[in-house]
Amino acid sequence: MARSSLNINTKHYLIVGGNTGIGAASVECLLGQGHQLTVASRRIDPDIASRVTYCPFDVETVFALGLPDMLDGLVYFPGTINLKPLTRLMAADYERDYRINVIRAVHAIQAALPALKRAPRASIVLFGRVAAKVGLPFHASIAAAKAAVEGLGRSLAAELAPKIRVNVISPSLTDTPLAQAFLNSEEKRRASGDRHPAKRVGDPKEMAALVDYLLGSNSSFVTGQVFRADGGLSSVRLL
């Protein structure tokens, strides 16, 4: 559909990894507001596929993305949770964590940049992790990769200003397929929740609401920020 026939507030966003978890919740949230989406991921739920432009894409192997001429925003979701003690950490582990979380995000942004630059204003949202801010055991590899994502976000916010804003959301444990190993019993779920001042884990829908805010014009004065949606884990201590 041509932009001129759409409501002025309707935007076209590229969602890299919108099939499950926070990505899928974000797709539902953004579609609910009438936005157009191009979803690039390895797999796609048929119900989602029927409502978006689907671009089969594996960040591990594919480098070219079929993109529209103009994009109002990009969100990059692919990530890893690879927790190991330092003694068991192999080069392949931290290379994969860095590749999927950082290098492929850079490739996706590079591929989308011409289309993002054609929009009057655009917004990029990346995903960090609470462990980039607070030291947690066994998180060395993923903490290093996600700290790089936070640095990447701030640096690109400076480089691409004022036309393109860049922000990072850094959640703590959130109820998605990626986190199921930590949430697959009531006991684990309670223990995980209890580690947070908020006394629960994150909900993909509340992360999606933050994605929606950061993509949209209500956050037009916000760039180069890291949003710590972590139930207080990185900054609050209960007495």
Which residues sit at the interface with ligand NAP, rule CB under 6 A?
A: 17-23, 41-43, 57-60, 77-79, 127, 129, 171, 173-174, 176-179
- Smallest gap from Cβ 237 to ligand NAP, in A, equals 20
Residue number with CB closer to ligand NAP (96 or 118): 96
Alpha-carbon distance 31 to 41, whole Å? Answer: 17
Cβ proximity to ligand NAP, 180 vs 220, nearer residue: 180
Task: Compare residues 119 and 210 and give the one whose CB is closer to ligand NAP.
Answer: 210
Of residues 144 and 178, the one with the C-beta less far from ligand NAP = 178
For the CB of residue 176, give the shortest distance to ligand NAP in the complex, in Å.
3
State the minimum distance, in angstroms, from the CB of residue 11 to ligand NAP: 20
Q: 10 Å Cβ neighbour count for 7?
A: 10
Task: List Cα–Cα distances, 100 to 111, 118, 142, in angstroms.
Answer: 16, 27, 11
Least distance to ligand NAP, CB of residue 37, Å: 13
To the nearest whole angstrom, how small is the minimum distance from the Cβ of residue 69 to ligand NAP?
Answer: 23
Q: Which of 89, 94, 27, 19 is nearest to 58 (CA)?
A: 19
Distance CA 200, CA 115 (A): 39
The whole-angstrom separation of Cα 220 and Cα 11 is 14
Helix (H, G, I), strand (E, B) or coil at 123: strand
The amino acid at residue 59 is V
- C-beta closer to ligand NAP: residue 119 or 171: 171
